[in-house]
Amino acid sequence: MAKIQMTTPLVEMDGDEMTRILWGMIKEELINPYVDLKTEYYDLGLKHRNETDDQVTIDSANATNKYGVAVKCATITPNAARVKEYDLKEMWKSPNGTIRSILDGTVFRAPILVKGIVPYVANWKKPITIARHAYGDVYKNVEIKVPGAGKAELVYTAEDGSEIRETIHQFKGPGIIQGIHNTEDSIRSFAQACFKYAVDTKQDLWFSTKDTISKKYDHTFKDIFQEIYDNEYAGKFKELGIEYFYTLIDDAVARVIRSEGGFIWACKNYDGDVMSDMVATAYGDLSMMTSVLVSPKGVYEYEAAHGTVQRHYYKHLKGEETSTNSIATIFAWTGALRKRGEIDGIKELCAFADRLEKACIKTVEDGKMTKSLSLISTCSEPVILNSLDFIRAIRATFDELGE
């Protein structure tokens, strides 16, 4: 069979540890035999990031802006232990943070559902995609531990020297205060990415804040979303039969639990942090969560939501067998290849991505899975496979599906 041809390269961001091993296996077993893969390769492995003073991360993000679609392997975010382990020149910043700020993107996380892995919330039938605003609020706060009685004020000084001043609290004794901020630009980018992704995936978009209590701060989020929806997306949503729905965060939580799923839930930074962990856990497993970074211009970077699976990598280095789940990383590839196919009008590439995803799901539903999946699956006699054999089983299913 002739391999599928591509016209525009994918930006390929290689990564670290166990996921780097899986990366190679996925390409060799599942992509290269079927697709004449065209990529512009960037090695974001920590060793190479260190050698290039992290320039490779910046270059890969710029390439993503240029070509429009990237696929990324999980990467190590260095901490003190990693600085020692890799003899780093510096404690380099999180690659995801660097890429996100260059693309000005929003991260959308969604679970991959398979029969036999039942969400804790019984009525969830379809994935819930969480979009988390990744700038500001409590993550860029300024805090003071108030030592004793005194007045706390909020002061804004304009460039011309004029002031806006509000009393926060007249303290009678010790306490605490916190200053947080966000910018209109960042909220607009977030809103644009959310509406674009809803149109792209033809799903309803929910957005929630606490605007009844936070009448200026949260209300601004609500107003910006509404304005962008009314001016740019209302017609498109109507055409697609999808809905934009705003509600209070506490009401949203209640509705999400009662829902069937099948929508995007846009959250402010803190809400997204908390809710994405809740939703991921309720759906079963971090190794079954996909993640895509979408820029307000409509540039896409696909990856798995999990990390580099360090513990498995050390086993692998010792020559021990591993049973690491590659599904979320495979879905990063299929997401990117499908998007490339859509943009370039290559139907075969989209069909390939669809079939490979089906093969992943069917393999697990047929009872062949990795260790971690077997622990949460209702399958009575699962066949537990090692990392490579699992990928090979997916390949066998893929080939069967084609016949």
Applying CB under 6 A, the residues found at the interface with ligand NAP are 74-77, 96, 286-287, 303, 306-311, 324-325, 372
CA–CA separation, 89 vs 54, rounded Å?
10
Work out what residue 57 binds among Mg ion, ligand NAP, none; the CB cut-off runs from 5 to 8 Å by kind. none
List, in order, residues 6 or more apart from 52 with CB less than 8 Å away. none
| Closer of 54 and 137 to Mg ion (Cβ) | 137
| Chosen from ligand NAP, Mg ion, none, partner binding at 96 (C-beta under 5 to 8 Å by type) | ligand NAP
Please tell me the distance from the alpha carbon of residue 141 to that of residue 126, in angstroms, as a whole number: 36
From 176-184, 271-279, 290-298, 349-357, give the range in contact with Mg ion by CB under 5 A. Answer: 271-279
Least CB distance to ligand NAP at residue 73 (A) = 8
Residue with Cβ nearer Mg ion (152 or 282): 282
Q: How far apart are CA 6 and CA 207, in angstroms?
A: 37
Residue nearer to ligand NAP on the CB measure, 213 or 317: 317
Maximum CA pair distance of the chain?
79
* Positions in 30-59 near Mg ion (CB under 5 A): none
The listed partner (ligand NAP, Mg ion, none) that binds 308, CB under 5 to 8 Å by sort, is ligand NAP
**CA–CA dist 104, 190 (Å, integer):** 8
Least separation in angstroms between residue 323's CB and ligand NAP is: 7
Judged by beta carbon distances under 5 to 8 A according to partner kind, the member of ligand NAP, Mg ion, none in contact with residue 273 is: Mg ion
Give helix 217-228 / helix 184-201 axis angle, nearest 10°.
Answer: 40
Partner from ligand NAP, Mg ion, none contacting 74, C-beta within 5 to 8 A by type = ligand NAP
Residue 18 or 187 with smaller CB distance to ligand NAP: 18
In terms of CB distance, is 280 or 359 closer to Mg ion? 280
Tokens standing for residue 227: 């304005």
CB atoms within 10 A of CB 159: 5
* Least separation in angstroms between CB 69 and ligand NAP: 17
**Region binding Mg ion by CB under 5 A among candidate stretches 159-167, 266-274, 306-314, 387-395:** 266-274
Binder of Mg ion out of 29, 40, 59, 273 (CB under 5 A):
273
Closest CB 272 distance from Mg ion, rounded Å: 9
| Minimum distance, C-beta of residue 276 to Mg ion, in the bound complex (Å) | 7
Residue nearest ligand NAP (C-beta atom): 307
Counts of helices then strands in the chain (DSSP H, E): 15, 18
> Which string of b and e fits 338-347 if b means at least 16 CB within 10 Å?
bbbbebeebe
Applying CB under 5 A, does 278 fall inside the site for Mg ion? no
Q: Is the dihedral of CA 79, 324, 108, 280 positive or negative?
A: negative
We find the least distance from the C-beta atom of residue 313 to ligand NAP, in angstroms, to be 9
Which of the listed partners (Mg ion, ligand NAP, none) does 286 bind, with a CB threshold of 5 to 8 Å by partner kind?
Answer: ligand NAP
3-state SS string over 154-195? EEEECCCCCEEEEEEEEECCCEEEEECCCCHHHHHHHHHHHH
C-alpha closest to that of 108 among 4, 225, 198, 168? 198
First to last CA, the chain: 12
Please, what is the minimum distance in Å from the beta carbon of residue 372 to ligand NAP?
A: 4
User: Residue 378 and residue 360: Cα distance in Å, rounded?
Assistant: 17
Nearer to ligand NAP, 96 or 208 (CB): 96
| Site residues for Mg ion per CB under 5 A | 273
